[in-house]
């Protein structure tokens, strides 16, 4: 990755690499600042294979920090500054990070490790410049991104540089990325879709535009931002992308990637819409499909470069075309493992029966292969859902609720609103003094906002079916 980025630095040193509000930084300056920070990281003891946490807003400094960590030999661990403190500290403890990069504002809150480097401190950038000379090996770790976990805590997914490189090179070629492209950066960099937004752009010599957070809740403003800045490629979560398509025939876009949930509605526009699919465990993107019309069930496309997707039955055999089964992914994009979770790694990354010595990832997704070779997503075979494009393990929310004083039982289910969007509804059996409002306030100290239930309903007892399990179908609907 760094070699391809440095190639662009040499080809177009003065071309804008990142635009963030009124700030614009060239490829030369981006590389120089990354070198300067890399030297500081090395001086603070960061060495090959170390994990370095980043806890800042989306910004130029965020990208500089990632490049600097790679140049110092480390891998980055993104932490959302808006996560509850308990979740932030869990990730820091689980990773045993060698160093934390943050801002003065967040460092002043307390509770973070001593010796954190503040990226908005002028002293951080006062050291010597010059090429850091470190180039990661293909099997070096590039990043660890945390996803929701069924046991009550998030789990870290470890992605190597060779997997990142395969995805970026495929994306650059398949999307026709050129230096004159303007690419939007919309997603929190704690979600793996940010990887797809940022790094293919930088190896193509294109310009990355940081989209202000407020515009992601104001689609008219987002459309104007795209047109004003001549954005040619953007990625949006599926619910946001569906609304954007319906409302705007944007005049600057040529490609709109949408991912994260099941696509339900398509509006033909001047720009091409791509329906993308892929778990964090397979380096962001496994397949994508150029949408050309409305489908009863939109295909998720064909596998990207160096990737195979098998549709497997319960006995580990491939299903024939048209028959449903679990989607299992093999190839260059597979994660190294889960961090500190050997049992889960062994359960999910299993031997590839068709390629000796290789592994495949069991996604837990149900799908089938169509006659034309495209894949179709049919739902989940486990307890995981997508809320506003974010991957959520319902068991993690239930564990957080059960830990609250006075709560005896809890079950979380996903339901659909009249527009077809999913929301979370929690049912509890609890002491009389437990109020939904106070419970929700307490949960907000432990869970990110997209995992908070929209409704909390108290029951005298949980309805059970003949086998003694909670009967989801008989739970009352929220008012």
CA of 98: how far to CAs of 41, 48, 75, 141, 254, in Å? 10, 11, 10, 14, 42
Flag whether pLDDT at 133 surpasses 80. Answer: no
Q: Give the model's confidence band at 394: pLDDT under 50 very low, under 70 low, under 90 confident, else very high.
A: confident
Which of these three, 210, 228, 255, is where a domain ends? Answer: 210
Is 340 a domain residue?
no
Of 128-132, 324-328, 397-401, where does the model show the most confidence? 324-328
End-to-end alpha-carbon separation of the chain, Å?
A: 51
Is 197 a domain residue?
yes
Residue-level pLDDT at 159: 98
Is 73 a domain residue?
yes
Is 440 a domain residue?
yes
Flag whether pLDDT at 182 surpasses 70. Answer: yes
Transcribe 391-441 into DSSP letters. Answer: EEEHHHHHHHHHTSTTEEEEEEEEEE-TTS-EEEEEEEEE-TT--HHHHHH
pTM recorded for the entire structure = 0.87
Q: Which domain holds residue 25?
A: 2-210
Least confident stretch, 149-163, 288-302, 331-345: 149-163
CATH number at 415 reads: 3.30.300.30
Least confident stretch, 144-158, 227-241, 300-314, 441-455: 144-158
Residue-level pLDDT at 59: 96
Please state the rounded mean pLDDT for residues 438-467: 88
Q: How many CA atoms lie within 13 A of 343 on its CB side?
A: 1
Residue-level pLDDT at 380: 82
Question: Do 337 and 385 form a contact (C-beta atoms < 8 A)?
Answer: no
pLDDT tens for residues 39-89?
Answer: 999 999 999 999 999 999 999 999 999 999 999 999 999 999 999 999 999
Q: Give the model's confidence band at 239: pLDDT under 50 very low, under 70 low, under 90 confident, else very high.
A: confident
Which of these three, 159, 191, 210, is where a domain ends? Answer: 210
Residue-level pLDDT at 46: 95
Please state the rounded mean pLDDT for residues 265-277: 96
Flag whether pLDDT at 467 surpasses 60. Answer: no
Domain count, the chain: 2
Of 133-137, 296-300, 399-403, where does the model show the most confidence? 296-300
Least confident stretch, 211-215, 262-266, 350-354, 360-364: 262-266
Question: Do 311 and 290 form a contact (C-beta atoms < 8 A)?
Answer: no
Flag whether pLDDT at 151 surpasses 70. Answer: no
* 396 alpha carbon, distance to own chain's centre: 18
Residue-level pLDDT at 112: 84
Which of these three, 190, 210, 230, is where a domain ends? Answer: 210
Is 272 a domain residue?
no
Residue-level pLDDT at 468: 61
Question: Strands 99-102 and 51-54: what pairing?
Answer: parallel
CATH number at 65 reads: 3.40.50.12780
Residue-level pLDDT at 379: 83
Longest CA span, the chain: 71
Q: Give the model's confidence band at 97: pLDDT under 50 very low, under 70 low, under 90 confident, else very high.
A: very high
Question: Do 235 and 257 form a contact (C-beta atoms < 8 A)?
Answer: yes
How far apart are the C-alpha atoms of 409 and 259, rounded to whole Å?
34
Flag whether pLDDT at 419 surpasses 90. Answer: no
Flag whether pLDDT at 416 surpasses 90. Answer: no
Flag whether pLDDT at 197 surpasses 60. Answer: yes
Is 334 a domain residue?
no
Residue-level pLDDT at 150: 64
For 442, phi then psi, to 5°, come to: -70, -40
Is 344 a domain residue?
no
Is 458 a domain residue?
yes
């Amino acid at each position: 990755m760094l070699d391809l980025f440095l190639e662009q630095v040499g080809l177009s040193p003065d071309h804008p690499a990142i635009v963030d509000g009124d700030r614009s930084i060239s490829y030369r300056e981006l590389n120089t600042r990354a070198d300067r920070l890399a030297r500081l990281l090395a001086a603070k003891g960061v060495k090959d294979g170390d994990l370095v946490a980043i806890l800042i807003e989306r910004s130029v400094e965020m990208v500089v920090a990632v490049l600097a960590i790679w140049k110092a030999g480390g891998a980055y661990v993104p932490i959302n500054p808006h996560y509850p403190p308990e979740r932030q500290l869990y990730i820091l403890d689980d990773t045993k990070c060698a160093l934390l990069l943050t801002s003065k504002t967040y460092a002043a809150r307390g509770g973070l490790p001593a010796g954190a480097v503040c990226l908005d401190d002028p002293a951080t950038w006062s050291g010597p410049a010059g090429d850091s000379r470190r180039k990661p090996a293909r099997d070096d770790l590039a990043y660890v991104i945390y996803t929701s976990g069924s046991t009550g805590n998030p789990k870290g997914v470890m992605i190597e540089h060779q997997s990142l490189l395969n995805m970026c090179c495929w994306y650059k070629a398949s999307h026709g990325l050129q230096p004159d492209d303007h690419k939007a950066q919309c997603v929190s960099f704690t979600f793996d879709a940010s990887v797809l937004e940022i790094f293919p752009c930088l190896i193509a010599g294109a310009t990355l535009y940081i989209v202000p957070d407020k515009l992601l809740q104001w689609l008219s403003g987002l459309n104007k931002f795209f047109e004003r800045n001549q954005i040619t490629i953007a990625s949006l979560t599926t619910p946001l992308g569906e609304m954007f398509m319906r409302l705007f025939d944007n005049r600057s876009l040529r490609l709109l990637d949408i991912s994260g949930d099941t696509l339900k509605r398509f509006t033909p526009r001047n720009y091409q819409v791509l329906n993308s699919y892929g778990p964090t465990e397979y380096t962001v993107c496994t397949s994508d499909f150029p949408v050309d019309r409305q489908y009863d069930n939109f295909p998720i496309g064909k596998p990207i470069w160096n990737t195979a997707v098998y549709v497997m039955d319960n006995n580990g055999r491939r299903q024939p075309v048209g028959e449903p089964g679990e989607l299992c992914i093999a190839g260059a994009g597979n994660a190294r493992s889960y961090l500190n979770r050997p049992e889960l790694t062994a359960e999910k990354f299993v031997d590839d029966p068709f390629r000796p010595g290789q592994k495949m990832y069991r996604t837990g997704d149900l799908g089938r292969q169509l006659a034309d070779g495209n894949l179709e997503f049919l739902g989940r075979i486990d307890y995981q859902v997508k809320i506003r494009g974010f991957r959520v393990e319902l068991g993690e929310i239930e564990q957080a609720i059960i830990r609250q004083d006075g709560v005896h039982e809890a079950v979380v289910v996903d339901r659909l609103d009249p527009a077809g969007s999913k929301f979370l509804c929690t049912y509890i059996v609890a002491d009389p003094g437990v109020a939904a409002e106070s419970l929700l306030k307490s949960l907000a100290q432990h869970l990110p906002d997209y995992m908070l239930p929209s409704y909390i309903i108290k029951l005298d007892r949980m309805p059970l079916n003949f086998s003694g399990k909670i009967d989801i179908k008989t739970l009352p609907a929220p008012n």
